Amino acid sequence: MSNSVITPGIQPGRLATEHYASHFDDLYPNYDPHEAMVAADRCYFCHDAPCITACPTEIDIPLFIRQIQAGQPEAAGKTIMDQNIFGGSCARVCPTETLCEGACVREMAEGKPVEIGRLQRYATDSLMARQGHPYARAASTGKRVAVVGAGPAGLACAHRLAMYGHDVIVYEAQDKPGGLNEYGIAAYKMAGGFAAREVEWLLGIGGITIETGRALGRDISLDALRGEFDAVFLGVGLGDVNALGIPGEDLDGVRDAVDFIAELRQTDDLSRLPIGRDVVVIGGGMTAVDAAVQSKLLGAERVSMVYRRDRAAMSASDYEIEHAATEGVTIITGATPVAIHGQGAVEEIEFAYTGGNESFRLKADQVFKAIGQKLVPLDGLATAGRKLAAQPMPGVWAGGDCTDGGEDLTVTAVAQGRDAAEDIHAHLTSA
Amino acid sequence: MAELTSNFIGIKSPNPYWLASAPPTDKEYNVVRAFKAGWGGVVWKTLGAEGPPIVNVNGPRYGAVWGADRRLLGMNNIELITDRPLEVNLREIKQVKRDWPDRAMVVSLMVPCDEESWKAILKHVEDTEADGVELNFGCPHGMSERGMGSAVGQVPEYIEMVTRWVKKHSRMPCIVKLTPNIADIRKPAEAAKRGGADAVSLINTINSITSVNLDDFSPEPMIDGKGAHGGYCGPAVKPIALNMVAEIARSPETAGLPISGIGGVTTWRDAAEFLALGAGNVQVCTAAMTYGFGIIKELTAGLSQYLDDKGMTLDELQGRAVPNTTDWQYLNLNYVTKARINQELCIQCGRCYAACEDTSHQAISMSPDRKFEVIDEGCVACNLCVNVCPVQDCITMEELPLGAVDERTGEPVREYANWTTHPNNPMAKAAE
């Protein structure tokens, strides 16, 4: 192919073939044992450690790091998984600088926290490399639970229920389980097919059946599930996206960032994935960053990420924003999109400085919208704000991005799924 | 810069740092490298009697204990005295002393416990024009099984006897190296003094097993599935060495007997501590084996700067802490301190709280926002919080002035009084 970074339009193959693999490889490879020991030695084993409090799943971080120090990374992995069965993906995608590492006392002491995320990766990789699944099912209770959505919330719920001996059927609308880990996160954070491997490993406990291609409201109904099962858990995520509501939004080349990321994640050959020469991403969250960085990594010449408020208000973490800047993404803040211009396909996008009259235009042959996702409404379910309540109906629990409470993070979804499972178990065994 | 020139029992060296008798001083090559780096002197690795040299194991010789970041805190060894031919060592000693006349050259010796053996080796050493001899009565492994090393050092009568032979058959200054593997270090020191020793050096290594191989179930270092105890050294043994040096320095029987301090000297500070407790110089081994000879630059510059900062000479430092080294019964029971936590420096790790709450006196409070404060009513001033705090000087002990009320006892701080007059002491003498 003769395309390059300066080929106009949306084109595949802008890079030499050999560059794709390295661009989308692990952003941070796993520690080797020496690196892990050096990093682990920095932990102070704090009393009532702030890092634990800062973790939505309350992993006993000082304990698992001490287990690494003591030469048993697999035991450390078990300590993590006891609290968070998605410890492997959380080690890769958590914004640790706002969670555990942000709370680390060595952040206060030296501005350099213990590298908890990378140590967690070391520990969980060690455990997962071991033959067999580390948890056993309790004797079957004969109770059946339906879980809707095979993302982190649903599968965390399913795993905990399976541990208690309940039978779980997971209904997943997509072709593959994993949720956003499989479809919605930058490839370099989940390199090597990790999302699929993690699900397979998790299912090793037994007692969980996943039925893919089965969407709530299309293939199955909540009423039917409630009739057939002893309990229902909804971990359906946010199925819809916010629209810009500006002229030109339907021009060719304008697309939702989540769709782009999902396509990228499911592409076997990245060199065949087309990308614009001038890409503009609208939004200030993790999805915007993942779309912008991956556009750059696919060979876009100029990538801008434009956010309507100031940098401090961006929901992407400082680390993510710095990473985008390092990869060559131009970050523009305080600018609101007002119109997309072009004949059939996008050519320019016009922004107004927020709170002012001045405007400017950016050349664009591709625009990704990443201004937030929203819940697809479900009839008859109690809501909290614009999301579902934790128990939206008798016999129905909910967790993950579709519910209110906490940030829309993998780790929060895992905590909610796990805690819902505890609640469901208590409910099923109290009668 | 303060002058570091040292004169230890008439042996002069440009600084008070000698390399101890050990692998770093086994050959001309190593010793010349040490002198080039700036070491003040060496005690040449122990020579044995004429005849076939001893042999060493051909597996691992050293075991280790590590701290965080794999910092070597303690090491042990099962190496024996020199395994090179006597004449080679003697030739090299003579050559090095000739090439480096300003450095101290002391030769360590260990021969069988009979007068003829000692007489013979002393003659050889005198021919090298070395500055003195050190009698190795310390090695706790291997040689002790053959009636030498610590087998002699553990019997004061033998120490006295051999020292007497050495002084009888040689005019060289004689240092007796003591083993710490004994109940009361003062006894062998007294014996050395009675025998006419010019000085003692201590400590030699401590009987030890550093680790056990949990796959093969053998002590380490492991030689073909078996292990033997070895001699422990390095930073971990410094507290034991300091106490033994102080015991000799403050004992009326041995006061004034020159001491060459050995045991875990790693930085200038360690050396200054040995000197303050009465050592006339120090010997170093593990630190050099861990970091190489280059550390001598920090050791000398650091000690010199410390003396400058204190406006002190090396002589004035020596023994300065000996008068303050006393017995527990004379400690002031009316000296009251309280821990103070500097909130500016606190990083809120809570280790002080865990230590005090779990294992001590419940005298530190923790607020919901992780502010840690000392509860004076409970604080016995044990210092544990200071020791476990990862931030230096974050927690300090503050002395209560005379007359101030100790919140723990409700009593005002009174004048000096110790156990010997305390009412709870059945042996107390009536207070005058």
Is residue B428 pLDDT above 90, yes or no?
Answer: no
Nearest to A329 by CA among A280, A364, A369, A362: A280
Q: How far is B347 from chain A (nearest CA, A)?
A: 6
Stretch B38-56: mean pLDDT? 96
Stretch A378-386: mean pLDDT? 84
Is residue A1 pLDDT above 70, yes or no?
Answer: no
Is residue B430 pLDDT above 70, yes or no?
Answer: no
8 Å CB contact of A50 and B351: no
Structure tokens at B80: 């024996």
- Does B351 contact chain A (CB < 8 Å)? yes
Is residue B431 pLDDT above 60, yes or no?
Answer: no
Render pLDDT for B98-131 as a digit per residue (tens, 0 to 9): 999 999 999 999 999 999 999 999 999 999 999 9
Q: How far is B43 from chain A (nearest CA, A)?
A: 36
Task: Answer yes or no: are the C-beta atoms of B18 and B201 closer than 8 Å.
Answer: no
Contacts of A46 in chain B (CB under 8 A): 348-351
Helix axes A410-430, A152-163, angle to 10 degrees: 40
For residue A36, what pLDDT is reported?
97
The chain-wide mean pLDDT, for chain B, equals 96
From A47, A49, A109, residue closest to B347, measured CB to CB: A109
8 Å CB contact of B347 and A105: yes
Stretch A332-359: mean pLDDT? 95
CA dihedral A393, A398, A404, A409 (to 10 degrees): 180
For residue B243, what pLDDT is reported?
98
Task: Answer yes or no: are the C-beta atoms of A234 and A388 closer than 8 Å.
Answer: yes
In angstroms, what CA-CA distances link A203 with A75, A129, B169? Answer: 20, 15, 84
Chosen for mutation from A34, A37, A44 (greatest number of chain B CBs closer than 10 Å) is: A44
Q: How far is A37 from chain B (nearest CA, A)?
A: 7
For residue B149, what pLDDT is reported?
81
Confidence at A431, pLDDT banded by 50, 70, 90: low
Known catalytic residue: B139?
yes
**Among A75-79, A402-406, A424-428, whose mean pLDDT is lowest?**
A402-406
8 Å CB contact of B354 and A47: yes
For residue A171, what pLDDT is reported?
98
Stretch A50-74: mean pLDDT? 97
Residue in B closest to A70 by C-alpha: B68
Residue, of B149 and A32, whose pLDDT is higher? A32
Residue in A closest to B369 by C-alpha: A50
What is the H or E stretch that residue B102 is in?
none
Is residue B233 pLDDT above 60, yes or no?
Answer: yes
pTM of the full structure: 0.93
8 Å CB contact of A47 and B350: yes
**Among B35-44, B142-151, B202-211, B251-260, whose mean pLDDT is lowest?**
B142-151
Stretch A381-387: mean pLDDT? 85
From A48, A106, A108, residue closest to B350, measured CB to CB: A48
Stretch B201-205: mean pLDDT? 97
Percent helix / strand / coil, chain A, rounded to 5 = 40, 20, 40
For residue B151, what pLDDT is reported?
86
Is residue A385 pLDDT above 90, yes or no?
Answer: no
Structure tokens at B153: 């050092």
The chain-wide mean pLDDT, for chain A, equals 96
From A41, A44, A47, residue closest to B390, measured CB to CB: A44
Structure tokens at B144: 């002790």
Is residue B139 pLDDT above 80, yes or no?
Answer: no
8 Å CB contact of A109 and B391: yes
8 Å CB contact of A47 and B349: yes
Q: How far is A79 from chain B (nearest CA, A)?
A: 21
Locate tokens 């009320």: which residue? B405
Q: Which DSSP string do the residues of B414-426 spell out, in sequence order? A: -S---GGG-TT-T
8 Å CB contact of A49 and B370: no
Q: Please tell me whether residue B410 adopts helix, strand or coil conformation.
A: coil
For residue A407, what pLDDT is reported?
84
Render pLDDT for A136-161 as a digit per residue (tens, 0 to 9): 999 999 999 999 999 999 999 999 99
Q: Give percent above pLDDT 70 in chain B.
A: 99
Is residue A421 pLDDT above 60, yes or no?
Answer: yes
First to last CA, chain B: 50
How do A144-148 and A208-212 pair as beta strands? unpaired
Chosen for mutation from A53, A105, A107, A112 (greatest number of chain B CBs closer than 10 Å) is: A105
Q: Please tell me whether residue A110 adopts helix, strand or coil conformation.
A: helix
Render pLDDT for A203-247 as a digit per residue (tens, 0 to 9): 999 999 999 999 999 999 999 999 999 999 999 999 999 999 999
Render pLDDT for B398-414 as a digit per residue (tens, 0 to 9): 999 999 999 999 999 99
Catalytic residue (one of B139, B346, B379, B389): B139
Residue in A closest to B352 by C-alpha: A47
Is residue B432 pLDDT above 70, yes or no?
Answer: no
Contacts of B359 in chain A (CB under 8 A): none
What is the H or E stretch that residue A104 is in?
none
